Chains A and B, each alone.
Chain A
Amino acid sequence: KNEVEQSPQNLTAQEGEFITINCSYSVGISALHWLQQHPGGGIVSLFMLSSGKKKHGRLIATINIQEKHSSLHITASHPRDSAVYICAVYQGDYGGSQGNLIFGKGTKLSVKP
């Protein structure tokens, strides 16, 4: 079993829909990252969370440390949101001396006009 599981693997939505991507993990963590990878291949960091909720534009990320679960929401989705969204967790002490992130397999989102 992978330590970081994402669902769904693939998601197709109509423009304007509210989208939720889920990430569950089985290890203790101090930080969780959401990354976006566009069809061109570039990877961009969207959020880093250790608790609660963060919002940036139409993107909202939440994390429940007790339930070992995080969600990424996209409101009013747009075709330009089409990308692969990757969840990654950090097990070490935040700000400590380790660097390993454990990655999920990603969720491929396609938003149709």
Chain B
Amino acid sequence: DAGVIQSPRHEVTEMGQEVTLRCKPISGHNSLFWYRQTMMRGLELLIYFNNNVPIDDSGMPEDRFSAKMPNASFSTLKIQPSEPRDSAVYFCASSLFLGGYEQYFGPGTRLTVT
């Protein structure tokens, strides 16, 4: 299996623009997670899905952030409008199930908002 796939790997955009990050989980995995990593705050869970349904989005920082999982093989994280403080590395991870199972991380998307 190719592992968790994320695109783009790098994104540079101007403040106010819409940003869409994409993730393809490992085939057969039922759970998908979106994380943000910054130097100051470390890894933070933004939202997670189980069987394509959002379970907990309490980590999403603001209404500017939204995430969808239209099918088992694709998820998006959208920021609209983007702000410089959104600059971070965004990771997608998948696992077989919820409940503490091992998570497999994608390579991350480094987002820079100028």
- Interface of A with B (CB < 8 Å)? 30-31, 33, 35, 41-45, 48, 86, 88, 90, 92-101, 103-106
Contact = CB atoms under 8 A, between A and B. Distances in A.
B43 interface: yes
Nearest to A48: B102
B100 A90 contact: yes
B105 A99 contact: no
B99 A96 contact: yes
B33 A41 contact: no
A48 B100 contact: yes
A30 B110 CA distance: 32
Interface string B38-77: 0000111100101000011000000000000000000000
A103 B43 contact: yes
Nearest to B104: A45
A41 B107 contact: yes
Contacts of B112: none
Given A41-B108, A99-B95, 16 more contacts: A31-B100, A35-B105, A41-B89, A43-B105, A44-B105, A45-B103, A45-B104, A48-B102, A86-B42, A92-B100, A93-B99, A95-B99, A100-B48, A101-B100, A101-B103, A104-B42
Interface of B: 31, 33, 42-45, 48, 50, 55-56, 89, 91, 93, 95, 97-105, 107-108, 110
Contact of B99 (A45, A97, A105): A97
Tell me what chain A mostly uses at the interface: helix, strand, loop, or mixed. Answer: loop
A90 B105 CA distance: 17
Contacts of B89: 41
A88 B100 CA distance: 10
Contact of A92 (B43, B45, B99, B105): B99
Contacts of B98: 96-99
Given A86-B43, A92-B99, A106-B42, A99 B50 contact: yes
Nearest to B97: A95
- With most chain B CB atoms within 10 A of its CB, the pick from A30, A35, A101 is A101
A100 B101 CA distance: 11
A30 B100 CA distance: 8
